[in-house]
Structures are given as structure tokens and as C-alpha cells.
Chains A and B, each alone.
Chain A
Amino acid sequence: MLRDITLGQYYQTDSVIHRLDPRVKLVATILFIVSLFVVDNFAGYLIAAVFLACMVKISGVPFRFMVKGMKSIVFLLIIAVIFNLFLTPGEAVVTVWKLTITKEGIRIAMMMAVRLVFLIIGSSLMTLTTTPNNLTDGMEKLMAPLKLFRVPVHEVAMMMSIALRFIPILLEETDKIMKAQIARGADFESGNLIKKAKGMVPLLVPLFISAFRRANDLAMAMEARCYRGGEHRTKMKPLVYHARDRIGYLVMFGYLASCIYFGRILKL
């Protein structure tokens, strides 16, 4: 029922991308997103598409897992496209009633759609190839300099890893609660908005209670093991850069440079 969201769901397989240092993957994802917003011509998008396709291929994660993550943004995507299509001023192509589709509108809408789709696939690729633990380790390391400004980096990283860890658990729990309530004749689908919202109460109350109970148990378990934040904490598997990670950085910066050159500076 609710298993379609891939965010925070690791796909277990062995590939170069899986073995990369999470810091490389994080930086790469950010650079990839930056590249998507830098380019503004066809050549740039072509480079991004080819690059993304290569990365997906190398990662060994079946493509349909990336698409799964897309389902959640279909709605957003449609709205963004429609708004851009109709509300961009410029040279009119078609006029329907008061709405005008402009040449610029089509261009921006298409760019928007491609950007969003690539963005989701790119970030799904990161979460699919990196375990949540690894991911937060990477974030903690990358954000370490912020400690100088008294940002509780470790705590934030811990909170994020816990949140990510609990997404699939809570989804599964939601599924079970829904089933238990449907067995008692609950209806989550039909009716108007108010009725639907009211219908969510039998789902949300048990879910919240269970989430609080889990949080409580987890806090207790952490305290029982003397967890007291990031001070003087060592890691069982400290992050160390290998040759492949350096190559990863090089590839990524090479990609960004070519994106900027072909997609922006060189007016193709």
C-alpha cells in the first residue's frame, strides 16, 4: 500500500558507487543539483542526462527503483509545469480562453520538469547506494567545521540518522494500522475532504502513540549504553578516503566544469 517511497531505502548490491565514501557522494549530489540549475541549454541537459544514465548504470540499482521515488513528486511536477506553461509572459503560441501558452513558457516548463526529474533521480541514487548510517557519518564529517560556530553537528547527524532509520518502520506500521482499522470498517478513501481528514484520526492516533513509544524506548536504550552526545566519541569504522574517492571527486568536478562550459558559457 505505502511502500512506494524510496527515500531512505538502501538497495543492497555491490558497485563502485556503493563503495564510495559517503562524503564524495554527498558532495557529488550537491554538485549535480548545482549543475542542473547552472545549465540552460540543450547541450548542458544532454551532458547531465548522459552522466546520470552512466551513474545509474554503474550503481547496479534497477532503474525502476529511481522511478518509484518519482511517484511522490508527480503532483508537484504537474503543478510546476502547468504554472510555468501558462503564466510565463512572452511570444504566444496557443491561446485557450484567457490562458496563453507562450514559447518561453514551454521552454521553462520543460526545463523545470527535466530539472525536477533529474534532481529526484540524482538524490535517489545517493540514498539507494548509501546506507543511512553511512550517509549521516558523511554529513557529520562534512559539517564538522560548523562546530566552531557551536552548531551541534553530531546531534543533528544523529537525529537525521534516527529519522531516516524510522521512515520504513513507521511506514510499515502505518500499513498495519490501516489494515486493522479497515477490518473494523474504517474508510480512508471515499467522502469529501473533511470526512477524509476525520477518517485519518483512527490512523494517526495509534501512529503517533507508537512513534512516541518507539522514541522513548530508543532513548532509554541509548542511555543504557551511556550515550552522551558527540564529545570524545570515536568511530568503529572511521571514514578514510581511498583512491576511488579521489577519482570520484575528479570525475565530479570534471562533469561540473563541462556543464558550465557547454551548458552556460558556450552559447550553443
Chain B
Amino acid sequence: MAIILDHVSHIYEEGTAMEVAALRDVNLVIPDGQFIGLIGHTGSGKSTLVQHLNGLMKPTSGNIYYNGEDINEDGFDRKNLRSKVGLVFQYPEHQLFEIDVFKDVCFGPKNMGLTEKEVQLRAYGALKQVGLEDEYFYQSPFDLSGGQKRRVAIAGVLAMKPEVLILDEPTAGLDPKGRDEILDQIAMLRKETGITVVLVSHSMEDVAKYVDRIIVMNQGSVMYDDEPRAVFRHYRELEEVGLAAPQVTYIMQELRRQGLEVGTDAITVEEARDEILKAVGRSRKMGGGGIY
């Protein structure tokens, strides 16, 4: 039960002067239940990559397997695949269309041909899962705030009960509070259901504390694919491609450079605090550190 990408490449306008390689020889295994951050600069190919995972785009070369089956083979049920690999696009405005929120969330399960009752149950469940209060269920989706629209969009996909949930920049355009709320909700959802989550983002800061694994894309290729700490050790290389490690990484690196014996692997503020306290304690015992 996994998604496997085998030498996947996607070239736009192949054979013309405007040829652009959006993906170059990407090899990945996405096992069940993992929480993955897919990071890359604008135009790095991350959005193209996720559209391959549910068969919206076809690779120009290479194969993609879902549970061992080639998804681009003739006769493969891609409609079914799309309910298993749920993709939520960046802008909720691109998918909301019904007269009220509840009906909109029903759209996905309805397309799966479920019974009316099952459709409604799923829609209700999905809206609860994304933490939307009942009072919004019968409002027009266009009257909601940005964060709420995003929740409805996510619920619209969740209602299909996917095994893999892919979120393309779910925090784009949200304020810091809205961003944290959405991300916390997704983390909680994952804990409760054990669903595989792929979070696409251009910000390390956003994903650092949630994910098990970070895949960094650059110019269509996978640059790093490792657990967050290991990826952030390459913070200098990340900067060169227009990305950045979380700010605490820089602080810890700088503290170390200045002579404080801290570990530099902290990725959240809390971890950094503990690490610094430990280091300060240590240096006090030894009779004062360099900079104090």
C-alpha cells in the first residue's frame, strides 16, 4: 500500500523551443501513514509532481504505481484513484460552487455514486474533521473567510475518504493564526485517522514541526529527501536555491559559532529553548561560557 514513482519525468512542450522540464527523473516511495512535506521554490515542479499522483497529469516518461498498479495503464480506474488519492488545490475559489457549504462538500462523494444517506454522513463527518462549526453548514461558501473556505475545500476532498491526502499550499494567503489553525487541524486529523498526508509548501517554517519527512524539490528534481533535521543541516545549500531552514536553525548555528555548546538540530522554538537551557546550564557548571 504505497505510491511509487519510478523515473518519472514531465516535459512541457517537448520537442519545441519552449521545452521545459517540469520533472526530471523523480524516484520516490510514499508509504502509508507518513506525513510528508514537499518543499520547493515557485516553479520547482512540486505542483506538477502532486498532479501526477492522482493521474491528473501523465508523465512524459516513467511510471507511477498505486498499490502496485500502474495508474497510467489503459483500463485503470482513475476516477476511483482520485477518491483514494485526494488532492486539494491551492485556491478554494477554484472548487467551491454550490449554494451552501454542505452541498458543496457532498459533491465529491456524490460523484462516487454513493447513496444519498452515505453522502450526507460523509459530508457531515468531513466538515467535523476540519473543525468547521455547524452554523456555517448552510451558508454560501462564498461568504466565508479565507481560512473557512480552505477548510470547506479540504472537507470536500476528505468526504471521499481518501487514503492519501495531498494539500497544495494549504496556508497560502492566510494570516499566521489561520495558518497555524489549519496546520494543527491537519496534524490532528492525521493522528486520528492515520491517513497519509503530503503537504506542499514553499516554507520550511510551516512544515518543520509537523512532518516526518521532507522532500525538497529544485528545478524539477528531488534535491533532498530525508527527515527534517537531516534536511535542515543543509541550510546553506537550501539558501542557494531560494529556500530557507526554520529561523531556529539559524539561531542555533549562530550560537554555536559564537561558542555556545548547543546542538544545532532543533527545529521548533521549544526544542531550541531546551537545548539552549541545557547548554547554558552546562557552561555555568564549567565556570562560565565565552559569551556570558
Contacts and interface: CB of A to CB of B under 8 A. Distances in A.
A binds B: yes
Interface of A: 173, 176-177, 179-187, 201-202, 205-206, 209-210, 213
B142 A183 contact: no
A183 B86 contact: yes
Q: Which of A185, A187, A206 has the most B CB atoms < 10 Å from its CB?
A: A185
Nearest to B159: A184
Given A202-B107, A209-B142, A183 B96 contact: no
B86 A186 contact: no
A185 B106 CA distance: 11
A183 B94 contact: no
A187 B91 CA distance: 20
Given A202-B107, A209-B142, A183 B87 contact: yes
Contact of A177 (B51, B83, B95, B142): B95
Nearest to B50: A183
A255 to B, nearest CB: 31
24 contacts: A173-B94, A176-B89, A176-B91, A177-B94, A180-B89, A180-B94, A180-B95, A181-B107, A182-B56, A183-B56, A183-B88, A184-B82, A184-B95, A184-B156, A184-B160, A185-B79, A185-B112, A185-B160, A187-B79, A202-B97, A202-B107, A205-B97, A206-B97, A209-B142
B108 interface: yes
B93 A210 contact: yes
B111 A184 contact: yes
Nearest to A210: B93
A213 B83 CA distance: 30
B248 interface: no
A186 B157 CA distance: 12
B196 interface: no
A179 B89 contact: yes
B56 A179 contact: yes
Q: Which of A176, A177, A184, A185 has the most B CB atoms < 10 Å from its CB?
A: A184
Q: Which of A183, A186, A202 has the most B CB atoms < 10 Å from its CB?
A: A183
A183 B82 contact: yes
Q: Which of B51, B95, B156 has the most A CB atoms < 10 Å from its CB?
A: B95
A183 B89 contact: yes
A201 B89 contact: no
Contact of B157 (A173, A184, A206, A213): A184
A201 B97 contact: yes
Contact of A182 (B82, B97, B156, B160): B82
Contact of A181 (B93, B95, B160): B95
Q: Which of B86, B94, B156, B160 has the most A CB atoms < 10 Å from its CB?
A: B94
A209 B88 CA distance: 19
Contacts of A210: 93-94
A186 B79 CA distance: 9
Nearest to B157: A184
Given A183-B82, A184-B156, 13 more contacts: A176-B89, A176-B94, A177-B94, A180-B94, A181-B95, A183-B157, A185-B82, A185-B83, A186-B111, A187-B111, A201-B97, A206-B93, A210-B93
Interface string B54-94: 10100000000000000000000001001100111101011
A177 B142 CA distance: 16
Nearest to A184: B108
Q: Which of A181, A201, A210 has the most B CB atoms < 10 Å from its CB?
A: A181
Contacts of B112: 185
A185 B160 CA distance: 9
B75 to A, nearest CB: 15
A261 to B, nearest CB: 41
Nearest to B79: A185
B94 A206 contact: yes
B79 A179 contact: no
Contacts of B51: 179
What 4 A-B pairs have minimum CB-CB distances, sorted nearest first? A185-B111, A205-B97, A180-B95, A184-B108
